[in-house]
Structure 1
Amino acid sequence: MDGAPFHLRDNRLLSLLDDATLQTLAPHLEPVRLHQGDAMYEPLRPMLHAWFPTDCVLSMLAANADGEMAVEVATIGSEGMVGVALYLGAELAHGLVFTQVDGGAFRMPADVFRAATRDRPALARVVLRYTHALMVQIAQGTACNRVHHIGQRCARWLLQTHDRVRGDTFDLTQEYLAHMLGERRAAVNAAASQLQSQGLIRYTRGRIQVTDRPGLEAAACSCYGVIRDQYVRMLAPVAP
C-alpha cells in the first residue's frame, strides 16, 4: 500500500475505544488507501462497509428524486466515520459518498459493524455521539448555504478540509470546489482569488495552501465554529 503508514487510533472514534474493544475489532478493520473520486457509497446501492478515515477527506452528497446529485451536505475525516446509516438500520445508501482528498482509512464489513454495535456497548456509545455531531454539521451546513455569502462558505469549507489533512497543502481544483459549494465556477474563482489576495491561502495548479489560518477563520462565518465545537464536545472522552 502506497503513502505514509497509518494506525487505528489515527481515527478519532477508534481512538476513543478501550483497548479490549479495539483489539476485538482490529482483525476486521482493513487498511485501505483512497484516492480522489473513489466511491464508498452510491445511491440506492447496498452499503458493504463502514469506513473510518485517518487522513483522507470524504464528501457526502444528497441525491435528488431523479438520482442527480445535489450540493454537498457533509465532509468527513479522521474525526468520524461513514456508515452511520448502517448503525441506524439502513441497508441501501441514500446518496453518494466519495473521496475528496487522498489518504488512508480503515473499512469494516457491514455485517460485522452491525454486530459490533449490538455486542460492544463502547462502540455503540461512540457511534451514537458521533451521529449527533454529524447531524449538527448537516443542519448547520444547510443553514449556512442559505444565509451566508460564498466567500464565507468557501473559507469554512477550506478550514474543515484543513482540519482533516496532514499539513497545510491539499489538492483541490476550482471546478471541484464549485461542485462542493453548489456555485458557478466563476463565483468560486472570485471568492478564492479574494482569499488569496488577502494572503490567507495560496492557490496554484489545483493545490491549495493555507498560509494564514487565523485570518481564514476570521473570514469564515460562525458556522465553522459551531460545527467544530460540537465535534469537540461530542467526541470528548467519556466514562464507560
Structure 2
Amino acid sequence: MANRLLAALSLRDFEVLAPHLDTVALPRGKVLFEPGDDVTTTYFPCRQTMASLLIVTRDGREVEAATIGREGAIGGIVSEGHKPAFGRAVVQVAGSALAISTSHLEAAKLGSARFGDLFARYSDALLAQMMQGVACNALHTVEERCCRWLLSTHDRAGDQIIHLTQESLAEMLGVQRTTVSAVTAHLASRGLLKTHRGRVEILDRSGLEKASCECYEAVESHFATVLPEVELSKP
C-alpha cells in the first residue's frame, strides 16, 4: 500500500477501515488544521506526500515540530472526543492521501487490541521525534539541523529530488532565508547536494548523514525499535 502505517494493519483490521477511507489530493501549502481546531479528520499521506506539524508564535512565525510522510498519519491519533489541535498541519510535498473521520478511526481502534497497539506505538514514535527536535533546535547548528531535515524528508519522499523552496526550508528551521541559502551553498560546495529552483537534489546521502547531527539517527533508530513493521520510507 501507498501508506506504510496502513500496510502494517492486519487484513481484518484494514477491511474495517476500508469503507470509510477516501482518497484526497493535497496540494503544497494546504493547511489541514490550525491551532485550536477540533481535529475531525485523520490523513494518511501516500507515496511522496509529506506534511509538517508547526508551532505558531503570536507574531505569526512558524517552526516545525515534526515531519510526517507515508510512514504515518496526521491528526486524531491519540484520542476521541474534543481534540483541539495544538499546532498547525501544513502540506510540504504535494500528493495524495487517504482520509478518514477520526470517529471511525477511534471505533476501529476500540474494536481491535492489535489495531490500538499499533497506533499507540506510532504515537510514541511521533512524540520521540518531537522531543528530539527540541534538543536539536537548542543544541545543534543550523547546518546540522538542515542536514537532519533533508535526510528525514529524503526518506519520506522516496526520490533523490526533494521539491521544496529554500524559503519553505527556512520556515521549517525557524531561520532567515539568507541563512538557508548560505548553508545549502556550503553543502553544495562539498558535493552533498545540488539546489535548483524549487527543489533540492541529494547527491551524496552518506556524506549528508555524516554532516548531520546525532538526532537523525536517534529518531530513526527509535522508530525502527518501536515500529519494526513500519519502514521509514528510505529511497
TM-score (norm 2): 0.92
Which residue of the partner structure matches residue 57 of structure 1?
Answer: 50
Task: List alignment gaps of at least 5 residues for structure 1.
Answer: 1-8
Shift of 1:89: 5.0
Code of the aligned partner of 1:70: E
State the secondary structure of the residue aligned to 1:87.
coil
Query: 1: CA distance between counterparts of 2:59 and 2:112?
Result: 36
> How many aligned positions are there?
229
Call closer, same or farther: CA 1:118–1:69 in 2, change over 3 Å.
Answer: farther
Q: 2:198 aligns with which of 194, 201, 206?
A: 206
Identity rate, percent: 38
**What is the CA deviation profile of residues 128-148 of structure 1, one whole-angstrom value per residue up to 9, with x for unaligned ones?**
000111111000011001110
Query: 1: CA distance between counterparts of 2:140 and 2:124?
Result: 23
Query: Quick check: 1:102 aligned with 2:94?
Result: yes
**4+ long deviations beyond 6 Å:** none
Query: 2: CA distance between counterparts of 1:89 and 1:213?
Result: 43
State the secondary structure of the residue aligned to 1:10.
coil
Query: 1: CA distance between counterparts of 2:72 and 2:17?
Result: 16
- Contact 2:41 / 2:101 at 8 angstroms: preserved in 1? yes
Shift of 1:172: 1.1
Q: Which moved more, 1:35-44 or 1:88-97?
A: 88-97
Code of the aligned partner of 2:164: L
Shift of 1:70: 3.5
Which residue of the partner structure matches residue 173 of structure 2?
Answer: 181
Shift of 1:43: 1.5
Call closer, same or farther: CA 1:87–1:171 in 2, change over 3 Å.
Answer: same
Query: Quick check: 1:19 aligned with 2:11?
Result: yes
Shift of 1:69: 4.5
Task: List alignment gaps of at least 5 residues for structure 2.
Answer: 231-235
Shift of 1:84: 4.4
- Contact 1:84 / 1:127 at 8 angstroms: preserved in 2? no
Which residue of the partner structure matches residue 25 of structure 2?
Answer: 33
Call closer, same or farther: CA 1:84–1:229 in 2, change over 3 Å.
Answer: farther
TM-score (norm 1): 0.90
Which residue of the partner structure matches residue 152 of structure 2?
Answer: 160
- Contact 2:39 / 2:76 at 8 angstroms: preserved in 1? no
Which residue of the partner structure matches residue 224 of structure 1?
Answer: 216
Shift of 1:187: 1.0
Q: 2:108 aligns with which of 83, 100, 116?
A: 116
Shift of 1:170: 2.1
